[in-house]
Amino acid sequence: MRSLLYLFTALGVIALAAWAYRENHLTRQAMNERGALEREIVLLKQSISIQRTEWAYLNRPDRLRDLVDLNFERLQLVPITSDHFGEIGTIAYPLPEVRSEVVDTIETFGAIEHLMAPLDPQSEAP
């Protein structure tokens, strides 16, 4: 009976050692992947920083002004002033299409005309 208990105990220890070894291997693999991802994140952040610097360099006002002057004949860009803005009421909106055909007719017997007629203040009796 004791030998059977020793056998199961030895098998349990071996199984636990194999499980611990497997978990240790998976943990190290995950840590290596995490390190690779962190290095990639650092490289991408550096790349974004470089691109922002290049964007700021290319969008310098003096450089853009020189480019506008060089390409004025083709682009005809001018500085924006208050004369370039207008009133909202001066915008010409397109008129809606008017249909000349009557598709369906509805006959009324004066009920709608009675409701739509303007009120005559003299006809109202107090």
pLDDT of residue 76: 86
d(CA 110, CA 105): 15
- Look-up of token digits 């003096």: 62
Neighbouring residues of 71: CB distance < 8 A, sequence distance ≥ 6: 77
28-58 tens-digit pLDDT: 999 999 999 999 999 999 999 999 999 999 9
Cβ-in-10-Å burial (0-12, 13-18, 19+) of 68 comes to middle
Neighbouring residues of 68: CB distance < 8 A, sequence distance ≥ 6: 75, 77
pLDDT of residue 78: 82
82-126 tens-digit pLDDT: 888 888 888 888 888 877 676 666 665 555 555 555 665 565 554
pTM here is 0.47
